[in-house]
Amino acid sequence: MPRPDLSVETHIWGEDTRYTVVRAEHCEALAARHIAHVAVIDAAAPYTIVRTRLSGAFMQVCLAGEGRTLLDGRWYTHKPGYATFAPAHVLHAFHCVPGKRWQLAWVRFMPTSVRSVRGAMSPLMTRFDGGVLQHAVLGLSHEMRAAADPGNCAVWLDVIERYIGRILEPWQQEPRLVRVWDAVQADLARDWTLADMARLASTSEEHLRRLCQKSLGRSPGRQLVSLRIEQAARLLATGTDKVEAIANSVGYANPFAFSNTFKRLTGFRPSDYRTRPHGGMSHDSNPKPGSDTTKVARKR
């Protein structure tokens, strides 16, 4: 199966994909926590999603089978026991592998969510058992189809949010990384070196590499690049500053280096990215239009 065209917004579900989705417009508990929707998916080819204008962050956990996910401009095999996170305003894509089913649980955040606007978030793949998250999403779906009791819904959402935190806030479990990335995010224009960051962490450069690899799944250098491009994408999508000024503000003195790195991670040149529409909720991964709180594709 050829890789999808990353320049085109694509939502292909296929007749052999089944899903259960709970949406904020039908669940006040989701809306109150700035979560657009939660879902459990059992997908098969040609299931393909390409989001060129992801306005809110997106997290998904592989439960069984396997698929392919684009992170940091690279395609990765997404297998059970791993979770991925895509921040807002960064190119996001994933698809099924022909002949293999792919079971996922996901959480889609609103643009107003702290997960969508916080600078410390960057593309991420990390180990995580999604079984509890799957059961919590299905539990919330069952409650919404039954009594839709606000208290019971809040309990399921508490479980979902706690597990989201385990996936998306690994650096908060390591105080040395908190110091580093808080300082980096506050001054992205600085010419950061590995030595600078190691001093902030009060550790050696090699140990900082190990800490970042363990907690974030990437080197300090890759994390720095991800934060810079994420911030640049946000500024391009929401502001009017010139591309060169934005490049300088996130630490790129060379506009060509900035443009090349930006295209590698987002799929677009900065000027092209700005001129594309960056829609809101209407560009969610909506399987089909309608008002049902939970939707299940019947055909296998």
pLDDT at 285: 45
Q: Can you state the percent helix, strand and coil of the chain, rounding each to 5? A: 40, 20, 35
Stretch 266-278: mean pLDDT:
78
Q: How many CA atoms lie within 13 A of 204 on its CB side?
A: 3
Look-up of token digits 């650096």: 171
Other beta carbons less than 10 A from residue 263's beta carbon: 17
88 vs 123: CA distance, rounded Å = 10
pLDDT one-digit tens code per residue, 175-231: 888 889 889 989 999 999 999 999 999 999 999 999 888 777 789 998 899 889 888
**pLDDT of 274 higher than 80:** yes
pLDDT one-digit tens code per residue, 48-57: 999 887 788 8
Cis peptide before 111 (omega within 30 of 0): no
pLDDT one-digit tens code per residue, 111-145: 888 887 654 456 678 888 899 999 999 999 999 99
Does residue 295 contact residue 287 with C-beta atoms inside 8 Å? yes
pLDDT at 279: 45
pLDDT at 206: 96
Structural domains of the chain in order of their starting residue, each with its CATH number: 10-168 (2.60.120.10), 172-275 (1.10.10.60)
Widest distance between CA atoms in the chain: 58
